[in-house]
Structure formats: structure tokens, C-alpha cells
Amino acid sequence: MAADTSVEMFSKVLENQMLQTTKVVEEQLDAEIQKLDQMDEDELERLKERRLEALKKSQQQKQEWLSKGHGEYREIPSERDFFQEVKESKNVVCHFYKDTTFRCVILDKHLAALSKKHIETKFLKLNAEKSLFLCERLGIKVIPTLALVKDGKTQDFIVGFTDLGNTDDFTTETLEWRLGCSNIINYSGNLMDPPFQSQKKFGTSVTKLDKKTIRGKKYDSDSDDD
């Protein structure tokens, strides 16, 4: 009986919150409509021009990203290519893999999907056995590892599947969330709500990650320091 009462109270609270949210959204829409109604033709024309200009810039940015290899998940042949690629793009995700590691194949599938969705970020893969110097330089010891590079500096790492629910069955949305936590993609979801598909089954308890790197330090891809 007490449980039924608690459920009913929770439902009422949730309903009230939804109503309040709906009311706020409606008020914001009414304010925007009223603002548009009060504009004269010149103001509307200027607003239209600003929006067209913003759209034009957005398309130009998209074309620039595509020209630099964004929008696809691709393999680079050497360490030298890695340094060149990260210099060209603001946000880069690089998967250090081995042919003999099954979990690398799992990551490939998710990264290929995300590369098409998040063209603001460059998605690469590099064979760890052909880049021993770079792996040592970045302190990469576990395969697979994703190096997350921003402005030419490797700021974070996703090592194995620990941050992805500790399961091989994590979803693309889970990896997307984890990349969003490092601000390496434009994430539109709630960082405080990890989308683990089987969270209860696997006993996973992961909250928003600290802004600091997992290893507590930053690695500069242009520096010789370990």
C-alpha cells in the first residue's frame, strides 16, 4: 500500500514538472511570436539576411571539414601522418588498434557511425604495431585505446571499454556520450545521464567524467616529453 502511494506521489510530481516545463516553452514561443509581430519589414529582412549568412558560413565550414578528411573513418599508414592530421583539424579521435584484438573490431563499427554524424571531428585509426614510437610517447599500453586530440594536443584517452559500461555490447550512443565528456565532439545529450543500454545488468555505475584527463596529465603530440 505504501509503495502504491509512493508511486502515485512520484507520478504527480513528474506530471507537475512536465506541465511547468511545457508552460515555460509555450511562454518562450509566445514571446518570440510577439517579437516577430512587432518587427517591421526592414527588421525582418535584416533577420533573414543574418540567418542566410549563418547558413552560408555553416555550409562553408562543412565543406572545409570534408576537404580535410572529416565525415569518414579512415586508417592512416604511419606516425608521420598522425602528426600531420592532428595539425590540420581542431578535434581528432585516433584509434590505436591491433589486427589480433577483437575489441578493436567492435570499436571500428561505432567509430564509423560517429564519423558520419559528427563531421566536426576527424576520426582516424592507426596500427599500434606500426607506431611503436608514438605509442611509447603517448604512454599507450592497452589496446584498444582512443587518443582524443584537441588543437594538436592529446588531452584524453579512452582505454579499453572501462568507460563504456565494461561490456562489449555498449551502444554507439554510449561512446558518443564518452566523447562528449571530453568535449571532442558537439554532444547534444545530457552528460550527467550516461546512456548505458545494460547498466543494471552489468552493475555499471558511471557518472559524468572529470574534466581532467583519465591519467591526470596531458600529452602534447608536438612535444618530446613522455
pLDDT of residue 81: 96
- The DSSP output letter for 179 is H
pLDDT of residue 19: 67
Using a pLDDT cut of 70, give the percent of the chain over it.
74
pLDDT of residue 6: 55
- Calculate mean pLDDT across residues 60-73: 91
- Calculate mean pLDDT across residues 72-94: 96
H or E segment and range at residue 26: helix 2-37
Radius of gyration (C-alpha) of the chain in whole angstroms? 23
- pLDDT over 90 (residue 222): no
Please report, for residues 123, 160, 177, the alpha-carbon distance to residue 142 in angstroms, rounded to integers and kept in the order given.
Answer: 19, 7, 21
- pLDDT over 80 (residue 60): yes
pLDDT of residue 95: 98
pLDDT digits (tens, 9 = 90+) for 123-167: 999 999 999 999 999 999 999 999 999 999 999 999 999 999 899
What is the distance of C-alpha 195 from the center of its chain?
A: 13
Q: In this predicted model, which residue has the larger pLDDT, 209 or 173?
A: 173
Q: In this predicted model, which residue has the larger pLDDT, 18 or 209?
A: 18
pLDDT of residue 223: 37
pLDDT of residue 9: 60
- pLDDT over 90 (residue 57): no
d(CA 189, CA 153): 25
Residue in the structure block whose three cell numbers are 578528411 = 69
pLDDT of residue 25: 76
- pLDDT over 90 (residue 32): no
Residue 68: pLDDT band with limits 50, 70, 90 = very high
pLDDT of residue 122: 98
pLDDT of residue 159: 97
The predicted model scores a pTM of: 0.67
Question: What are the backbone dihedrals phi and psi of residue 147, each rounded to the nearest 5 degrees, phi first?
Answer: -95, 125
Residue ranges in 68-191 assigned as alpha helix (H): 79-88, 102-117, 132-138, 172-181
The domains of the chain, with CATH numbers, are 69-182 (3.40.30.10)
H or E segment and range at residue 220: strand 219-220
Residue 79, classified by CB atoms within 10 Å of its CB into exposed (0-12), middle (13-18) or buried (19+), is middle
pLDDT of residue 37: 65
What is the distance of C-alpha 180 from the center of its chain?
A: 3
pLDDT digits (tens, 9 = 90+) for 174-211: 999 999 999 999 999 999 888 874 454 444 444 445 44
d(CA 127, CA 74): 12
Q: Which amino acid is at 104?
A: C
- The DSSP output letter for 166 is S
d(CA 110, CA 170): 9
pLDDT of residue 58: 79
Q: Which sign does the torsion angle of CA 155, 158, 162, 164 carry?
A: positive
Smallest CA-to-CA distance from 131 within 94, 100, 167 is with: 94
